[in-house]
Amino acid sequence: MTGGPRRRSPSVAIPAESDVLVLGGGPAGTWAALGAASRGARVTLVDKGYCGTSGSTAAAGNNLWYLPPGGPAREKAVAAREISGGYLTDRRWMFRLLDQTWDAVGQLADWGYPFPTSDDGTQRRASLQGPEYMRLMRRRVRRAGVAVIDQSPALELLVDPDGVVTGAAGLRRQHAGERWEVRAGAVILATGGCAFRSGALGLNVDTGDGALMAAELGADLSGMEFSCQYGIAPAFGAQTKGLMYQFATFTAADGTELACGLRPGGVLEVQRAALYSQVYAQLDLAEPGIRSAMRWSQPNFFLPFDKIGVDPFARRFPIRFVLEGTVRGTGGLRLVDDGCATAVPGLFAAGDAASREPVTGAVSGGGSHNGSWAIASGSWAGAAAARFASTRAGQWRTAPLAHGGGPGLRPRAARGDLRADDVVEAVQDRVLPLRHNRFRTAADLRESLTVLDALWPVVAGGLTAADGDPRSVLRTREATAMLAHARWMYRSALARPETRGMHLRDDSPQTTPAFARRIRVGGLDEVWTALDVAPPALLRTEETEETAVP
């Protein structure tokens, strides 16, 4: 139907100034924007893609860590998580997370999220389907008066003469790469995790840009060794939702059964087998009576099978393991207080951009804790950033601002001829394969670091510029962020010479109580690590427990 009227949604002008600037419009960013706006702040939210479709939650959906107050359920769940999380959690944070999630989900219900209802009329509220949830969040954010700017990735932070973060700058990729700058009283990083452009469901926007910007100003991270979560996907595709594999029988090429269901040890066996040969899955443990409910619960799990004409119940299909990096891992920017401040003044972090160790520990938070964390940390960061901006002396509105960004924006040397995509490929080569990242040894980690460390000066020096193509600036920043993440990740993995949670050291398979500490990491030119001196605040300590080695 050519010749019809083309109606584009009117392009929103970018405010030059805002009390709070939120980078990223997934659940963490939208809850942050609402948190700040409800405290009277003028808020701007920018997204690389589109607030409502972009990021992990919009594509995948979230089951939440959602438990009623009162009664023993929360106490029990927190105690269980301490053990499974490898004794790196913080009980106070877990309880405040549960409180905040409960209230926020109540709000979603008030706003009309179409929850399912059980026979007795009560709503089941622990699962949020991605497109529905994030479309609603976008509406609420706009209704709250937040300026939402899509297709406008942030590239760097702006700082005042005292080193306080006072805004950010980026580009509008659908406006010929025009640059934008927003001056702000406080900035919240909600840019998601880093999945190394592995292709896992919805994650190619999550390239770790926020942590790069923060590290350029001296922020540190924590838990980066816990960044090796792999999703299961049918070999033909990129659909990495995992829950339905509880009904799977996993087999080797010759049909030998490797595991069934999602027991951690079992999946590990399958991953080991996948090092050497193709492995398969079939959802044959699902009774026919339950299959329709499976489909309605996770329609986009089944959609790829339907489209390609494979019946996953009736026939085994080849699978592959796709890295989800820090998205369903745990590591990220280290938070220094209850308001989700980072180590850099004026800069807050929420969702996957922040370390989730306080609530997930050393195991994946994808599947329940992460979604709740995005809601809660976003809300806290929004409130704290609004407070910070309002108590800040007025000169932030006029102070001269310095640009924080380095590689890709301000090359140090004459540009070389390496392209951003070459860097991404080199990084992927070391971080995506199971043999490097799932099954770790000191020798292999060192070998990876030799390659990755050697790349850094080249990237910092300057990659080749495809002049006139605004996307090349973004590509370069993304490549830089991925390289930085790879180095933080493997340096942290070396600093933990034991096996804990998802971090598996084939050369040190024991769990060592002395390492029931978090590991901090930071730096770009020189990457450093340090064992956190303070033990996590637990109900009980590891010494009194049997150590479970996967």
Partner 1 sequence: MIEVISDSRCVDCGICVDVCPTNVFDLSADGPPVIARQSDCQTCFMCEAYCPTDALFVAPLAGPAPTGSPLADEAALEAQNRFGEYRRWLGWGHGRTPGSRRDQNHVFTARALSPPKRAGR
Ligand X SMILES: Cc1cc2nc3c(=O)[nH]c(=O)nc-3n(C[C@H](O)[C@H](O)[C@H](O)COP(=O)(O)OP(=O)(O)OC[C@H]3O[C@@H](n4cnc5c(N)ncnc54)[C@H](O)[C@@H]3O)c2cc1C
Positions in the binding site for ligand X (CB under 6 A): 23-29, 46-49, 54-57, 60, 62-63, 153-154, 190-192, 200-201, 203, 205-206, 209, 231, 240-241, 324, 327-328, 351-353, 366-371, 374
Which residue reads 């590591």 in tokens? 331
By CB under 8 A, the residues from 235 to 264 that bind partner 1 are 236-239, 243-244, 246, 260-263
Specify the stretch interacting with partner 1 by CB under 8 A; choose among 221-229, 286-294, 372-380, 529-537.
286-294
Q: Nearest distance from residue 448's CB to ligand X, in Å?
A: 23
**Which of 67, 79, 108, 126: binder of partner 1 (CB under 8 A)?**
126
CB neighbours of residue 161 within 10 Å: 11
What lies within 8 Å, CB to CB, of 150 at 6+ separation is: 12, 25, 47, 49, 50, 51
Q: Nearest distance from residue 317's CB to ligand X, in Å?
A: 17
CA distance 232 to 243: 10
Instruction: At 392, list the tokens.
Output: 């800040």
Instruction: At 256, list the tokens.
Output: 């030998």
59 binds partner 1 (CB under 8 A): yes
Size of the site for partner 1 (CB under 8 A): 70
Please tell me the total number of residues recorded for the chain in this structure.
550
**Which of 157, 203, 273, 344: binder of partner 1 (CB under 8 A)?**
203
Q: Nearest distance from residue 533's CB to partner 1, in Å?
A: 34
Residue 246 contact partner, candidates partner 1, ligand X, none, CB within 5 to 8 A by sort of partner: partner 1
Which residue reads 């706009």 in tokens? 142
**Which of 15, 17, 79, 132: binder of partner 1 (CB under 8 A)?**
132
Nearest-5° Cα angle at 196, 235 to 26: 100
Query: Do the bridges between strand 154-159 and strand 178-189 make them parallel or antiparallel, or are there none, so unpaired?
Result: unpaired
Residue 407 contact partner, candidates ligand X, partner 1, none, CB within 5 to 8 A by sort of partner: none
Which residue reads 């920017």 in tokens? 333
Q: Nearest distance from residue 214's CB to partner 1, in Å?
A: 22
308 binds partner 1 (CB under 8 A): yes
What lies within 8 Å, CB to CB, of 502 at 6+ separation is: 226, 228, 229, 329, 330, 362, 363, 364
- DSSP lists the bridge partners of residue 171 as 179
Q: Nearest distance from residue 545's CB to ligand X, in Å?
A: 25
Closer residue to partner 1 in complex, CB, 49/404: 49
364 binds partner 1 (CB under 8 A): no
Cα end-to-end span (Å), the chain: 58
**Which of 111, 276, 296, 528: binder of partner 1 (CB under 8 A)?**
296
Helix (H, G, I), strand (E, B) or coil at 194: strand
Instruction: At 370, list the tokens.
Output: 């992460």
Query: Do the bridges between strand 178-189 and strand 17-23 make them parallel or antiparallel, or are there none, so unpaired?
Result: parallel
523 binds partner 1 (CB under 8 A): no
CA distance 13 to 33: 18
Q: Nearest distance from residue 209's CB to partner 1, in Å?
A: 14
Amino acid at 502: M
Residue 374 contact partner, candidates partner 1, ligand X, none, CB within 5 to 8 A by sort of partner: ligand X
DSSP label at 207? B
**Residues at the interface with partner 1 (CB under 8 A):** 1-9, 48-50, 52-55, 58-59, 63, 113-117, 124, 126-129, 131-132, 150-151, 173-174, 199, 201-205, 233, 236-239, 243-244, 246, 260-263, 290, 293-300, 303-308, 367-368
